[in-house]
Amino acid sequence: METKNQKLREWVAEVEAMCQPDRVEWVDGSTAEYDRLMQLMVDCGMATKLNEQKRPNSFAFRSDPSDVARVENNTYIACKNQEDAGPTNNWIDPVELKKTMTELYTGCMKGRTMYVIPFSMGPIGSPISKIGIEITDSPYVVVNMHIMTRAGDKVIEALGEDGEFIPCLHSIGAPLAEGQEDVPWPCAPIEEKYIAHFPEENLIWSYGSGYGGNALLGKKCLALRIASNMAREEGWMAEHMLILRLTNPEGHRFHIAAAFPSACGKTNLAMLQATVPGWKVECIGDDIAWMKIGDDGRLHAINPESGFFGVAPGTSDKSNPMAMRSLDENSIFTNCALTDDGDIWWEGMDVPCDHAIDWKNNEWTPESDNVAAHANARFTAPAAQCPVICEDWEDPAGVPIDVFVFGGRRTQTVPLVTQALDFDHGVFMGAMAASETTAAALDVGQKLRRDPFAMLPFCGYNMADYWTHWFAMGDKLGDKAPAVFYVNWFRTSKEGRWLWPGFGENSRVLKWMCERVEGKVGAKETPIGHMPQDGDLDLSGLDIAPEDVTELLTVDAGAFKEDLADGEAYLAKFGDKVPERLRAQLEAQKTRLG
């Protein structure tokens, strides 16, 4: 569809002149377009159609081994003042970066088609939604954006002649000379990959990578890095949070938004199957929440995405059956293994596989030294296919949030659940969120990795200013602010045994939160916040030793003092930008611990 939006027409013409594609296509969002592009990629060897009987209308892709994940070291916040980006972002001068990237973009789409993707983050027309336009030379990006966003002609209609949009420019950085043969996954070498955000212009430029969040610019780039800055300026919130609805036996609905660092069971919680009789969980979103204050003074949230882009390895019928059912058809799989019967497989799927073609296109058996699927192998699936998707997941008004939850992976120190003493204390909890480190290179020499609000890689401005924004939102919400809780599903005994069964049993903890919001149960005050009293946590039918429950709900003051010292050292890197209210919470916690 031709747009009458002059600003958009001029930008597309400007990019076309710079990138020099062979042709330009405006994405209409139709099924016919999706099918045509998939067939194009099957024909050129980029995609493999999966067994139609086993997984209808689904496709597998293998990326180049150099292009398998978000490239954090090549992800930049380009603003005039380095302090505005803060110590946890890669800052770069916007003038210098644009010069470098313009040189790379010049002629970068030769021999390729330039696709113009109009997309809406959130239901089209919602007061909480935003429109983006992604220009790309990757058909893989187009089909993924079909699933992950509302894309095509309807967005052009909604944009109108003078509507605002966020420009998102992407190229794989692999021009084709005349007669040059293409490769299955074209991309630029690692030193030429740039994922750039210009928050002062609400602009995104990405070059060199065709993978995931580097290339699907509606995802982390727009929905978090750019949107977090827009949210601060406009008085709303863009958060790395799942959204779920929990309904009790009386039909009372509660809405929970929860932020967890990676490997903490976020998607599992979003699609939880409650084990408490009469309680029901429904998924509204598994990754990102955009929230604005409604006419009722409460915070209302939408899921700005329309699909799931999840990590495949470890996902199984045991760990997340609802995610598995979401992938039964109409899905895209990237860097998974291909089985002999034309289906996909990955480690942790909990089904046997004796032979496959691995993600690098080599023969694989269980005796092989390498994994069959890359650790960051992904699935892309329509959210509407999730069996527990909430009927109101696309309500343009959003759902009112009752509870915020933060958490991390901690084998010691942090109890199963704690409620903040008040909203300011809740902001402190979110700011101190941490997980124990892994064997990854970025964790060398550290015991804990602080990941405030699970936003460390995604906050598009200075994290200290982000905390200030949270306090400001709390002030605006007043007594209508959500209750705040902190959870840790990963506590172990001294011998290393899990103390809490996790998975569906986590609904017992969510039930306590909802009953706290309703005022149905009390709590005991501890130095770190409110915790369940004996008998308040519904453990009926659960085979768990009383001493394990005691340990799960124990506060070790000495261990928390050590934790607080680590947190204080973390805050030091932000200098005098740290909000006084956060420092006051730190001092109050010290006092309570004695």
Residues with catalytic roles:
264
| Element at 351 (helix H, strand E) | none
Q: Which residues pair with 116 in a beta bridge?
A: 26, 135
Q: What does the alpha-carbon distance between residue 373 and residue 68 come to, in Å, rounded to a whole number?
A: 11
* Residue labelled with tokens 């390895």: 313
Q: What does the alpha-carbon distance between residue 489 and residue 504 come to, in Å, rounded to a whole number?
A: 11
Q: Is 29 helix (H, G, I), strand (E, B) or coil?
A: coil
Orientation angle between helical segments 94-105 and 6-19, nearest 10 degrees? 60
Q: Is 182 helix (H, G, I), strand (E, B) or coil?
A: coil
In 3D, which of 527, 488, 290 has the Cα closest to residue 405? 488
Residue 231 CB contacts under 8 Å (≥ 6 apart), including other chains: 237, 238, 290, 469
DSSP 454: G
Q: Is 95 helix (H, G, I), strand (E, B) or coil?
A: helix
Q: What does the alpha-carbon distance between residue 207 and residue 102 come to, in Å, rounded to a whole number?
A: 10
CA distances from 329 to 248, 318, 336, 341, 587 (A): 31, 19, 16, 16, 53
Q: Where are the beta strands (DSSP E) in 160-277?
A: 166-171, 194-198, 203-207, 237-239, 242-247, 253-259
Q: What does the alpha-carbon distance between residue 505 and residue 33 come to, in Å, rounded to a whole number?
A: 43
What are the φ and ψ backbone dihedral angles of 293, each rounded to 5 degrees? Answer: -75, 125
User: Can you read off the two tokens belonging to residue 298?
Assistant: 């409460």
Q: Is 476 helix (H, G, I), strand (E, B) or coil?
A: helix
Q: Is 216 helix (H, G, I), strand (E, B) or coil?
A: coil
Q: What does the alpha-carbon distance between residue 182 and residue 388 come to, in Å, rounded to a whole number?
A: 41
Contact 411, 436 (CB under 8 A): yes
Phi-psi domain of 97 (left: phi exceeds 0; alpha: psi -120 through 50; beta: other) = alpha
* Residue type, position 233, single letter: E
Residue 486 CB contacts under 8 Å (≥ 6 apart), including other chains: 405, 406, 407, 414, 417, 418, 420, 429, 433, 529
What are the φ and ψ backbone dihedral angles of 419, each rounded to 5 degrees? Answer: -100, 135
Q: Is 242 helix (H, G, I), strand (E, B) or coil?
A: strand
Q: Which residues pair with 403 in a beta bridge?
A: 256, 483
In 3D, which of 280, 272, 301, 298 has the Cα closest to residue 289? 301
